[in-house]
Amino acid sequence: MTINYTDFSGKSVLVTGGNSGIGAVTATLFEELGAKVAVADINTHNESGGAGDKNNIIVGDVSKESDAENIIDSANEMLSGIDVVVNSAGIVDEIKPAVERSIEVWQRIIDVNFRGTFLISRTAARYMMEQRGGSIINIASVNGPGGWPRRTAYGPSKASIIALTKELACEWGSAGIRVNAVGPAYITTPMVEGLIKEDKIDVERLCKRTPLNRLGGPEEVARAIVFLASDWASYITGETLFVDGGWMAYGGAGDVKTF
């Protein structure tokens, strides 16, 4: 008997931050694989033209407890259950020395990226426990385990997500809930492309630092997310899968120009 592990027919998937970037591409891919998909976003504009149509968008701020609960409750009602949650909602850091950083901006990044991931996961798990199973995939970053100067909010928020992923996987495993994360490097999302146009990112330098010598595509991260949500990954939990072109493997910082 052949089993198609990438067939998500009959599965219900919620993607937060699903109107843009990695979230939008992930939502569309799940839809193409047969899943019923809902997206949650603070922004009602869908830049992908895919899964996030007006009929399945839930508007809310994941960092607010009442919004997070409404997102999950609405998705559960809309989809008649929740099998998979992708915590893709997040915001980037301002690149600024720590001593000059606004605590308000710092707190907002922590709240959306880390607090939001916890609030959505906690509320979704209550439904998943009732149905005895589910899969949660968080979005970490290579900036989580790595120390990057002048990113003193984004990096810690992503490091916290890696730790939270392990904690929740251990706590909820007996309920049949798997919790994993993906850790992208620089990905060609509209946000990153905007930074490139503003000359805030040196693409040539980043590519030299990356063993595969290129930036990643959002579809490559989306495929990793789908894998972790699928039965192919049925015995994987508590892990962070880095989708980084070898970024985390490379340790020769002194010879970037000759790589």
d(CA 33, CA 187) in angstroms, rounded, equals 23
154 catalytically annotated? yes
Task: Write down the catalytic residue from 5, 127, 154, 235.
Answer: 154
**Closest residue by Cα to residue 20 from 193, 137, 183:** 193
Q: Residue 211 corresponds to which tokens in the numbers above?
A: 């063993």
Q: Cβ distance 192 to 214 under 8 Å?
A: no
The strand pairing partners of 135, in sequence order, are: 84, 178
In angstroms, the Cα distances linking 85 to 94, 136, 203, 211 are 28, 5, 32, 31
Q: Residue 187 corresponds to which tokens in the numbers above?
A: 């990905």
Catalytic residues: 154
